[in-house]
């Protein structure tokens, strides 16, 4: 079964992309592309491709007839705990080099959406300073990527999983998007992060629909398959259908007991949305 583009009753059914940073961890990253394709996925996303050459990653996509729908710009020193540098003063030159590297990979992989992580802000730091740096970097990245038809995504991340992250709510994200003023900047809505940070998922999505560029899912509170917990995903999938969401849905969750063993929810979702 393929979990890609489809229609139902004249509407647009959401399309599911496997997140290879979290799913199919039973095998090494290069082998996850084939595993995702064998499981029926037509698209994938991942955090970072930079441990491999762009040509290597492009070959894995091509060999498995997969589309890459998302990856992140370089985040600084991830191993040391950094989670992006876009809002960090004094890192502008490094940030700009990372934008160029991201564009290089996006061009090679055919990727049309790239996510820019903001970074962790120290307690008591002057927020206006970080906001100014962030907006300047956001405009720089958006204009650079706009030349190649790439949409730049920004994402609110909940403070429980990532304490100190620059912004947590959809309202903050859309305010930054609007202040930036670049047409190719959109907000990523991860229902997992949104539920933890603020809730009100359906109205948040509906009210901000025109500014949302990508969707991700996972159960709450465990960040596992979206078939349990406090979020009603069948309802949200129907809402996305009704609103005509045409983008991909990234399956950014941690499988409970093996990726393939947990894919029952996906087959059910692909058959039952009306």
Q: Which sequence positions are flagged as catalytic? A: 155, 252
Q: How many CA atoms lie within 13 A of 164 on its CB side?
A: 15
Interatomic CA distance for residues 75 and 160, integer angstroms: 19
DSSP 74: P
Closest listed residue to residue 145, CA positions, set 212, 111, 109, 99 = 99
Residue 244: alpha-carbon gap to chain centroid: 19
- Following DSSP, what letter does each residue of 103-160 receive, concatenated? HHHHHHHT--EEE--B-B--TT--HHHHHHHHHHHHHHHHHHHHTTTPEEEE----TT
Instruction: Show Cβ contacts of residue 32 under 8 Å, excluding neighbours closer than 6 positions.
Output: 18, 20, 23, 24, 25, 44
Tokens 């948040």 identify what position? 204
Closest CA to 213 of 173, 254, 273: 173
């Amino acid at each position: 079964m393929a979990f890609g583009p489809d229609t139902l009753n004249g509407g647009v059914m959401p399309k599911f992309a496997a997140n290879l940073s979290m799913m199919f961890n039973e095998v090494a990253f290069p082998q996850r592309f084939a595993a995702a394709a064998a499981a029926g996925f037509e698209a994938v996303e991942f955090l970072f491709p930079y441990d491999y050459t762009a040509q290597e990653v492009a070959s894995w996509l091509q060999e498995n007839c997969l589309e890459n729908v998302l990856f992140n710009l370089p985040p600084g020193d991830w191993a040391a705990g950094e989670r992006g540098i876009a809002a960090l003063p004094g890192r502008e030159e490094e940030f700009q080099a990372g934008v160029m590297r991201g564009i290089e990979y996006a061009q090679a992989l055919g990727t049309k959406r790239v996510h820019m992580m903001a970074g962790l802000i120290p307690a008591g730091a002057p927020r206006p300073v970080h906001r100014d740096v962030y907006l300047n970097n956001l405009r720089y990245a958006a204009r650079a990527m706009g030349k190649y038809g790439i949409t730049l995504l920004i994402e609110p991340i909940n403070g429980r999983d990532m304490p100190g992250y620059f912004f947590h709510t959809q309202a903050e994200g859309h305010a930054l998007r609007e202040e930036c003023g670049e047409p190719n900047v959109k907000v990523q809505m991860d229902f997992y992060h949104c539920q933890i940070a603020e809730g009100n998922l359906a109205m948040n999505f509906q009210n901000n629909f025109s500014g949302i560029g990508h969707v991700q899912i996972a159960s709450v509170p465990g960040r596992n398959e979206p078939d349990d917990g406090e979020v009603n995903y069948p309802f949200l999938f129907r809402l996305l259908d009704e609103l005509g969401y045409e983008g991909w849905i990234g399956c950014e969750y941690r499988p409970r007991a093996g990726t393939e063993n947990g894919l029952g929810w996906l087959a059910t979702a692909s058959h039952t949305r009306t």
